[in-house]
Structure 1
Amino acid sequence: MVKKVKIGKSDLYVNPIGLGTNYIGGHNLYPGTDDNAGKQLVKDAINAGVDYLDTAYLYGPGRSEELIGEALKESGKREDIVIATKGSVKFEGQDMQNDNSPAFLKQAVEDSLKRLQTDYIDLFYIHYSDNQTPKDEAVGALKELKDEGKIKSIGVSNFTIDELKEANKDGYVDVYQGEYNLLNRSAEEELLPFTAENNISFVPFFPFASGLLTGKYTKDATFNDLRAQMPHFQGEELEKNLEKVEKLREIANVKQAEIPHVVLAWYLTRDSIDTVIPGAKKLEQVKSNFKALDVQLTDSEVQQIGRIFS
């Protein structure tokens, strides 16, 4: 039986390993995804023990939410599942813009409720900041929706430290989602200390640095997707990163685990990181991610991993 954790100061309790669902219905991110397979993956993941799904209007756009809504309705398990979704994005033709105005966010929540076929959302994030709206006003609109029971907790995503401070002026922010992994630890400078101090749960995205921290690549790997533009996948940088990942393999072998399990276990030792939401395309990946919960890192191993990726 998995021990559930509380997400920050919210009233949400979940398996610490959730499921990021940008692949499910995310046709604009992963061309050629299969809707039926995506919906089936949600059902299978829930049956395997996932009780925490992270989605967004941007994935699809809207299609990921629709498929999750259908899967939950068909499985009859809505009450057992924590749904996190995000809004702020709007499209003017092909141009993506962000709107944090109270009116827009309230409408975004209503639209997400319809797509998800539910009467409440467990965790709603402002996905990206805009340049116009005071952040405490934006969060104030979500607080009104929380008081109405339409959302249960309030999150912000991709905010700078100053935007997060402004957003949390009244102490209403429960969760912050931002990029953090062993190759990009910049959140340790200001964001993680602030979230820890204010009992805000920090949910890291890109936990595997687009796959580089899984141990499945060699220096000869070539990429024709987003990774082709990422510095840590290029030339000497890639070789250096792969050497670090190989050092993780030694720790994983001692633990009779795999590299991704050690990586996820390390994140869960960080102050204010209660949960992780790795994405998955197959049920085997979902089940494999759960094995991170069996990895108990000693203090010296935690420090050793920190040094490898200092």
Structure 2
Amino acid sequence: MIYQKLRGTDLKVSEIGLGTNAVGGHNLFTDLNEADGIEMVDAALQLGITFIDTADIYGKGRSEELIGDVLKRHNRTDVVVATKGARRWFEDGSVVVDNTPEYMRTALERSLQRLKTDYIDLYYLHFPDLKTPLVEAIGELTKFKQEGKIKAIGISNVSLSQLKEANVHGDISVLQSPYNLLDRSAEEELLPYTRENNISFIPYGPLAYGLLGGKYTEEFKLTEGDWRKGQPLFEQEAFKKNLKIVSRLKEMAEEKETTVTNLSLAWLLSQEGIDAVIPGGKRKDQVILNSLTSDVTFAQNELDLIEDIVKG
């Protein structure tokens, strides 16, 4: 396993992390097995994966609770825990985005309790609420940092203008945003800005929400309740086109004696400014496969071939 330092922080993370929206994320996926999720997180830590990413909205607190249970069985200082706050849920099932300093503090305290820890390594503002000035919301997070409750500040799901507003005082260390071989829109504005401003870019959806796992066929259908419904990558015509790209990437991966999963993650890590990836999963075997990514390297002609494949 290779370890990298997140920019502007003292946090050293495994370049292969673990996204945990399917660990207790019953509001995002159907038929989740919590025992499988716990086993997967345990396996990740045993493999040397030290970067665990969650959010309070995953399972409306349940993901954090399960990860907190796992952390109790490991040395806390060996694990870099990232979580996110800003989505507020109510008993009637409704969810709103709330960036007010008052709610952000409430969200943080609840996350600390669920994770069974007295600090969080990386705390993200999960979504902008389009009401609260971002400088106010991030200002509250800087207070958390001063108080020792968090070690670094991140932000997610923002446009370039929102990122600039949030980072007006240089407080942002990490941006989390969609980026993968099938969705490269981050290269237009966000990635150049993070490179120039010493901000680590952590892609979410690095495997295009399962597409780059290489197992889907044209007959695949998302089930009701699956949060990926409505994602542009899964719209009928785009889905067919993406499957053809994945098929060619699989051929290349086989020639390199690897998998399309590992090839896709390794490609991301080869991009300047990408310090870690956080592929998700539901089972132990998936995290074992992901851990092999660091063994994959590219010659320039192979990177050129990937460009040709993706651009058709």
User: TM-score normalized by structure 2?
Assistant: 0.94
Cα RMSD over matched residues? 1.5
Question: Contact 2:177/2:202 (CA < 8 Å) preserved in 1?
Answer: yes
Residue deviations 1:251-302, cap 9 Å, x none? 2122210111100000001121110000111111101001111000112222
| Corresponding residue pairs, total | 308
Determine if the alignment matches structure 1 residue 180 to structure 2 residue 175: no
Residue deviations 1:132-172, cap 9 Å, x none? 11112211111111111110000001011111000000001
Residue deviations 1:167-207, cap 9 Å, x none? 00000100001111111111111001001111111111111
Question: Contact 1:8/1:272 (CA < 8 Å) preserved in 2?
Answer: no
User: Is the deviation greater in 143-152 or in 36-45?
Assistant: 36-45
Aligned to 1:291, the other structure's residue is in SS state helix
User: Is the deviation greater in 210-219 or in 284-293?
Assistant: 210-219
Question: Contact 2:19/2:279 (CA < 8 Å) preserved in 1?
Answer: yes
Paired position in structure 2 for 1:275: 276
1:228 CA displacement? 5.1
1:34 CA displacement? 2.9
Aligned-partner Cα distance in 1 for 2:182–2:270: 16
Aligned-partner Cα distance in 1 for 2:294–2:139: 36
Q: Match of 1:237, as an amino acid?
A: A
Aligned-partner Cα distance in 1 for 2:163–2:173: 11
User: Is the deviation greater in 248-257 or in 145-154?
Assistant: 248-257
User: Is the deviation greater in 170-179 or in 234-243?
Assistant: 234-243
Q: Which has the higher contact order (CA 8 A, sep 6+)?
A: 2
Aligned to 2:238, the other structure's residue is in SS state helix
Paired position in structure 2 for 1:87: 85
Paired position in structure 2 for 1:109: 108
User: TM-score normalized by structure 1?
Assistant: 0.95
Paired position in structure 1 for 2:18: 19
Question: Unpaired runs of 5+ in structure 2?
Answer: none
Aligned to 2:46, the other structure's residue is in SS state helix
Aligned-partner Cα distance in 1 for 2:237–2:291: 33
Aligned-partner Cα distance in 2 for 1:233–1:108: 32
Paired position in structure 2 for 1:168: 167
Aligned-partner Cα distance in 2 for 1:187–1:131: 21
In structure 2, the CA distance between the partners of 1:65 and 1:219, relative to structure 1 (3 Å rule), is same
1:45 CA displacement? 2.0
Paired position in structure 2 for 1:129: 128
Question: Contact 2:2/2:294 (CA < 8 Å) preserved in 1?
Answer: no
Paired position in structure 1 for 2:285: 284
Same amino acid, percent of matched pairs: 47
